[in-house]
């Protein structure tokens, strides 16, 4: 049953006196996935409810012009909002997901998930609370991608790292922003010409964080 892992990563599950929940924990399979593996894709049937123990998965969609648009990350302690939605609505995946790092997770079969939703008040509350929180995060991200200038989005993405040196390529940064590499590269070079950044292969060094913070409160008129 991997009780020690449940206690370490999902302690609230381990301390419940709930026969149905215990059956879920007994049934859950421990799965390991390598970095870069596709977890789901548009049209795929959802067969398991996943609870991540370690690693990171990114969910993304392809825009009409072929851009990759990041929806959200699933990290340790999280569940996937698209997986939950597909299981609850008996739908297929509308997007794709890839492991960003090596991933370890509990995989709970769909039939067990549905039985627990019906019979366990604790599990039902856990699933809907997690789903609500994750959905709110996705909506906030979509709002951030839809509104605000490229300069503001770029400044926000750079400052979000909390580090002076950002180990990301222009493509990776564009994916985070829901933009394209060419646009991001052009704005990064402009920021560099202002003395705000220093660019090198695979990394970006923030030279003037205060200037980036000012961009966040300035409406781009160009």
Name residue, tokens 């609850």: 88
**So what's the pLDDT on residue 163?**
87
On whether residue 70 sits in a domain, the answer given is: yes
Q: Model's pTM, two decimal places?
A: 0.66
Q: Tell me how far apart the alpha carbons of residues 64 and 98 are, in angstroms, rounded to a whole number.
A: 20
- For 40, residues 6+ apart whose C-beta sits below 8 A from its C-beta are 46, 82, 83, 93, 95, 96, 97
Q: Residue 74 belongs to what H/E stretch?
A: strand 68-75
CATH number reported for the structural domain that contains residue 158 in this entry: 1.10.10.10
If asked whether residues 63 and 130 sit together in one domain, one would say yes
**So what's the pLDDT on residue 62?**
81
pLDDT digits (tens, 9 = 90+) for 101-156: 999 999 999 999 999 999 999 999 999 999 998 888 888 777 666 656 788 889 98
On whether residue 222 sits in a domain, the answer given is: no
**So what's the pLDDT on residue 222?**
34
Q: Burial of 63 by CB count in 10 Å (0-12 exposed, 13-18 middle, 19+ buried)?
A: exposed
Last-in-domain residue among 101, 130, 146: 146
**So what's the pLDDT on residue 153?**
86
**So what's the pLDDT on residue 55?**
96
Q: How many helices (H) and strands (E) does the chain have?
A: 10, 10
If asked whether residues 191 and 105 sit together in one domain, one would say no
**Pairing between strand 203-206 and 165-166?**
antiparallel
On whether residue 221 sits in a domain, the answer given is: no
Cβ atoms of 104 and 6 closer than 8 Å = no
CATH number reported for the structural domain that contains residue 135 in this entry: 2.60.120.10
If asked whether residues 76 and 159 sit together in one domain, one would say no
**So what's the pLDDT on residue 41?**
93
Q: Tell me how far apart the alpha carbons of residues 100 and 98 are, in angstroms, rounded to a whole number.
A: 6
Give which of 161, 140, 22 is closest to 81, Cα–Cα.
140
Last-in-domain residue among 146, 174, 207: 146
If asked whether residues 37 and 132 sit together in one domain, one would say yes
If asked whether residues 47 and 20 sit together in one domain, one would say yes
Last-in-domain residue among 120, 146, 172: 146
If asked whether residues 109 and 186 sit together in one domain, one would say no
Q: Residue 188 belongs to what H/E stretch?
A: helix 181-193
If asked whether residues 11 and 103 sit together in one domain, one would say yes
What residue numbers bound the domain in which 129 lies? 3-146
**So what's the pLDDT on residue 76?**
94
Using the CB atoms, write b or e for 153-188: b if 16+ within 10 Å. bbbbbbbeeeeeebebebeebbbbbbbbeeebbebb
- For 6, residues 6+ apart whose C-beta sits below 8 A from its C-beta are 13, 14, 25
What is the number of domains present in the chain? 2
If asked whether residues 99 and 128 sit together in one domain, one would say yes
Low-confidence ranges of the chain (pLDDT < 70): 1, 64-65, 143-148, 218-222
**So what's the pLDDT on residue 220?**
38
3-class secondary structure per residue, 33-48: ECCCCEEECCCCECCE
On whether residue 36 sits in a domain, the answer given is: yes
If asked whether residues 142 and 186 sit together in one domain, one would say no
Q: Tell me how far apart the alpha carbons of residues 22 and 13 are, in angstroms, rounded to a whole number.
A: 8
């Amino acid at each position: 049953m991997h009780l020690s892992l449940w206690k370490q990563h999902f302690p609230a599950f381990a301390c419940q006196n709930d026969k149905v929940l215990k059956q879920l924990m007994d049934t859950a399979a421990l799965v390991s996935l390598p970095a870069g593996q596709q977890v789901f894709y548009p049209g795929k049937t959802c067969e398991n409810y996943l609870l991540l123990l370690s690693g990171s998965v990114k969910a993304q969609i392809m825009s009409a012009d072929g851009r990759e648009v990041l929806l959200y990350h699933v990290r340790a302690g999280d569940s996937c909002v698209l997986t939950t939605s597909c299981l609850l609505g008996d739908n297929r995946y509308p997007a794709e997901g890839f492991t960003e790092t090596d991933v370890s997770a509990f995989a709970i079969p769909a039939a067990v998930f549905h039985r627990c939703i019906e019979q366990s008040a604790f599990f039902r509350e856990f699933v809907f609370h997690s789903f609500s929180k994750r959905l709110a995060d996705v909506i906030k991200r979509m709002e951030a991608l839809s509104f605000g200038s490229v300069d503001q989005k770029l400044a926000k993405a750079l400052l979000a790292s909390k580090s002076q040196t950002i180990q990301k390529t222009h493509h990776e940064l564009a994916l985070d922003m829901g933009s394209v590499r060419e646009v991001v590269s052009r704005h990064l070079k402009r920021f560099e010409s202002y003395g705000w950044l220093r660019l090198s292969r695979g990394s970006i060094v923030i030279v003037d964080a205060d200037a980036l913070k000012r961009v966040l409160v300035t409406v781009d008129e160009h």
